[in-house]
Structure 1
Amino acid sequence: MKKTLILLLLLAPLWSCQGQTEKQEGPYTFKSGDRNGTGKWYMGREIAFVMGYQGMGWLERPEREKEENVSALLANMEIGPNDDIADIGAGSGYHVFRMAPLASQGTVYGVDIQNEMLAAMEYRKEALEASNVNLVKSTEKTANLPANSVDKVLIVDVYHEFSFPVEMMASIYQAMRPDAKLYLIEYRGEDPTVPIKETHKMTEAQAVKEMEAAGFKLVENIDNLPWQHCMVFAKAN
């Protein structure tokens, strides 16, 4: 009897998994997928886990400029001195504090959901005396930016981790001015040589499909970054 009970306890998780069915909650589907994914899907794409603050060192790695050509990305954005810019999922502020001197008369919003990332940016802001940098604590569903407040939005290797992409993109749309541009940077899902886990990549086709659902249109995909798409979107209406 004891052996039978032990066997039943061992098999219970297997039976539970076999009995699970696909679950739909609004625009999101819950089902099994990649071991690096969350099991939550949107428009046929599995949402990836958020990279924790423990990965801050990777964000600040010395070889990042060579691997991602951040200088080219910033040139692509054509940042003017009066631009108001939001960096969504800004992390440790790698891009924030490179954009701040370029938008010297504007505001750069460093937006992140993790307190540890915000603390790192606050330390850097004080050290650099970057008075035009404003730090914003976001949530899973909102960027917490004022309406009609930004000319440019930068999202670098973060969108694929949004737990609620529909709600978050609606929030970002509302924060953008009518002629604002959204720069969506994602590792190229079409390229198997890009050394990044599949759940942390996106194809142009998938990105366009999701952005169109959020009310955006693709203006261009600037093809000058080593591993990433530099997709430029504008409001469709």
Structure 2
Amino acid sequence: MKPRFISTRIPVLIGLLFLCACNGQTKNSAGDYVYKQGDPNGIGKWYMGREIAHVMGFQGMNWLERPEREEEENTAILLKNMNIKPTDIIADIGAGSGYHVFKMAPMTKRGTIYAVDIQDEMLEALRAKREARNIENIKIIKGSEKSVNLPVNSVDKVLMVDVYHEFNYPKEMIASIKNALKPKGKLFLIEYRGEDRTVPIKELHKMTEAQAVKEMKAAGLTLQRNDANLPWQHCMVFSKE
């Protein structure tokens, strides 16, 4: 009788284990994040209905510094949108090799630019450029996947260019950024327009305004405006107020 009892339940147990394994692959969640298969350009991790994209590594540094970037992104207009003042303290999160950092530094001669990145190779490139150009108002900060590692209420403006969609922990990162912003600080979120299929960028490396607003609102940030004067990107301005 004992062998027959065990044998009748083995298929049931196997079925239950298979069901649990399948659910783990498609619906397993840890707090605010869901893990499931998705786009090949994504990491299989989802936040508020959006799959997080793979990080562009330091190997793409030359692409960040490409000559046609100004024409494609119109950085000069972006910097005008930021209304940068000589005394501003600005953090460029995901600064990479410093494409925007070294444009903003001369505009903030009595202020500071924090160049924040998590990749050592990017940080080394930033240091080399800073030394070669003898610029004193750039501070290089190594961030982590969950923190920008900046002091509380320390920055007037935060700039994130085509990087937020790659954060492994967007909720924690935005909380850290909000913590670093001064009470009336502004977050400039620059992302390729997800609503526009003509923008020649992979879908997971774009964001819609609606998705960005949803995620920022959850963090306690309010959209003040979205400057529609860049060729391919949103220029969304969020406030702590």
TM-score (norm 1): 0.92
Per the TM alignment, residue 122 of structure 1 is displaced from its structure 2 partner at its CA by: 0.2
Per the TM alignment, residue 22 of structure 1 is displaced from its structure 2 partner at its CA by: 1.1
Alignment of 1:1-237 (within 5 A): 19=22, 20-236=25-241
1:55-102: per-residue Cα shift (whole Å, max 9, x none)?
Answer: 000000000000000000001000000000000000000000000000
Letter in 2 for 1:123: A
1:157-203: per-residue Cα shift (whole Å, max 9, x none)?
Answer: 00000000011111100100001110000000000000000000000
Identity across aligned pairs (percent)?
Answer: 66
- Number of aligned residues: 222
1:94-119: per-residue Cα shift (whole Å, max 9, x none)?
Answer: 00000000011000000000000000
Equivalent position SS for 1:145: coil
Alignment check: 8 A CA contact 2:26 2:37 kept: no
Letter in 2 for 1:52: G
**Separation in 2 of the partners of 1:204 and 1:136?**
29
Letter in 2 for 1:201: K
**Separation in 2 of the partners of 1:23 and 1:200?**
24
Can you give the 5+ residue segments of structure 2 that lack an aligned partner in the other structure?
1-17
**Separation in 1 of the partners of 2:28 and 2:75?**
40
**Separation in 2 of the partners of 1:162 and 1:103?**
27
**Separation in 1 of the partners of 2:85 and 2:236?**
19
C-alpha RMSD over aligned residues: 1.4
Which structure is larger by alpha-carbon Rg, 1 or 2? 2
Per the TM alignment, residue 129 of structure 1 is displaced from its structure 2 partner at its CA by: 1.0
Letter in 1 for 2:203: E
Task: Report what 1:10 is aligned to.
Answer: none
Equivalent position SS for 1:100: helix
**Separation in 2 of the partners of 1:51 and 1:183?**
20
**Separation in 2 of the partners of 1:117 and 1:164?**
20
**Separation in 2 of the partners of 1:177 and 1:21?**
40
Equivalent position SS for 1:187: strand
Letter in 1 for 2:57: G
Letter in 2 for 1:74: L
Equivalent position SS for 2:131: helix
